[in-house]
Amino acid sequence: MLLDAAVINMDLNVQLIDDCKNGSKSAYEELYKLYVKAMYNVSIRITNDREESEDVLQESFLSAFQNIDRLKERALFGSWLKRIVINKSIDSVKKRKEKFVSFDDIREKDVAEEEAANDENEVEYDIESVNKAVQLLPDGFRTVLTLYLFEDYSHKEIADVMGISENTSKTQYLRAKQRLIQLLKRK
């Protein structure tokens, strides 16, 4: 039964995208309604700002709809839109002039050792307290942590999209994780 629903949703997306390509305003509205909540959640995790995320969403949907003819695999609209939202969210954070700390001089071995030490001390927390603690992280830390943990990006992908080195991504992630644990222990 679940598979049937997935096929129906995929067929609906394909039809809506075809309708969008033909200029149907109702198709644009329907696609927006289908994806806005999920895309808002992606953006808010990166920007940590409601108004900024709303702006990012508007820009992202506008960009997607203006370029919908370039979408080759109609069934992959959600993934394509998500990539747009992530990129625009990161650009928005970068505009705040927050600098991402570069740790290129830290050796891979040091990063791996530090990560192993942190894994040994992990403690379980409830989702709400973790979400609140993530919101308290500095922009660079929160962005890397979000992309790595929630969006399943590799450190190479994070480095490419953020314009930082892969080692910086790994180090930002480790520092974010350490800071997150500190924040959670305080509560």
User: How is residue 93 written in tokens?
Assistant: 């954070």
Residue closest to 39 by CA, chosen among 59, 20, 14, 68? 59
Residue 103 lies in a domain: no
Taking only the tens place, the pLDDT of each residue in 141-177 is 999 999 998 898 999 999 988 889 999 999 999 999 9
Taking only the tens place, the pLDDT of each residue in 61-104 is 999 999 998 888 877 888 899 999 999 999 999 887 654 544 44
Residue 136 lies in a domain: yes
Number of independent structural domains in the chain:
2
| 91 and 9 assigned to the same domain | yes
Q: Range of 51's domain? A: 2-95
Q: What is the pLDDT of residue 144?
A: 93
| 115 and 46 assigned to the same domain | no
Q: What is the DSSP string of 97-129?
A: TPPPPP-TTS-HHHHHHHHHHHHHT-----HHH
| 129 and 171 assigned to the same domain | yes
| 33 and 78 assigned to the same domain | yes
C-alpha 59/C-alpha 159 separation (Å) is 23
